[in-house]
Amino acid sequence: GLANLKLREALSAAAMRDQLTGLFNRRYFEETAPRELKLAHRNGKPLALAVLDLDHFKRFNDGWGHEAGDEVLRQTARVIVECLRGTDIVCRLGGEELVALLPNSSAEDAAARLQGVRAALAALKIRLHGRELPPVTVSIGVAQAPMHGQDVAALLRAADEALYAAKAAGRDRIVAGWRVEDHQSVDADAGRWPSVALADDGAVHLSWYDASAHALMWGRFQGDGELEVAEVDGGGDFDRGTHSSL
């Protein structure tokens, strides 16, 4: 009867949700992402995919207990949903691994919207048992279909690479529009889309648009794991860089 139908619908909806955060889960993402990608392709519209990773999340669990880690995840999920549109799809794939699908959004548009998420999380104050937890920051990598990936796996890979660049550049920032261009030189005036290239001396050169700083950035990995980072000014010259360890 009607009661059984409603029960089945409720159980089906619950099966698509992450119990801790209320976000959609990995199963929902795996079913929905290919459908959204096909819809975007059919309509000739962009689709952005963002991978969000809480910086130093392990310190919450290790220093404050798993209850603190769970509360940080719940609050983070709430902030993301509040900052994004109702048509955007936010999923928890597991642990602190979060993914957002943003229909009808370019990577640049998505990065601008996600900047609101980053700022809101940085301003968030979480208290647990009367004690304030450390600040929450997030690193975000954004990719856009079809230019950064023709299928979900390629799009996720591109967003993950952008996330890695965000982490390498100091965390608490957004890197949008990663594109791999092996064995090509990095041009300081190449534009907003980041690239990675292998130099003759074996170092890895990176360039990316940092949406948080509104600047084109350049980086160079040495063999010792150090990353030299510099901002590119409007004239295509590099400002003095700093070294930071991964």
- Could you list the active site residues? 96
Cα 177 to Cα 20: distance, rounded to the nearest angstrom: 31
- What tokens does 33 get? 């992402």
3-state percent breakdown (helix, strand, coil) of the chain, nearest 5: 35, 30, 35
The residue type of 74 is R
Asked whether the bond before 135 is cis by omega within 30 degrees of 0, the reply is no
- Please list, in sequence order, all residues whose beta carbon lies within 8 angstroms of the beta carbon of residue 189, skipping any fewer than 6 positions away: 236
At 36, give phi and psi (nearest 5°).
Answer: -65, -35
CA gap 118, 71 in Å, rounded: 17
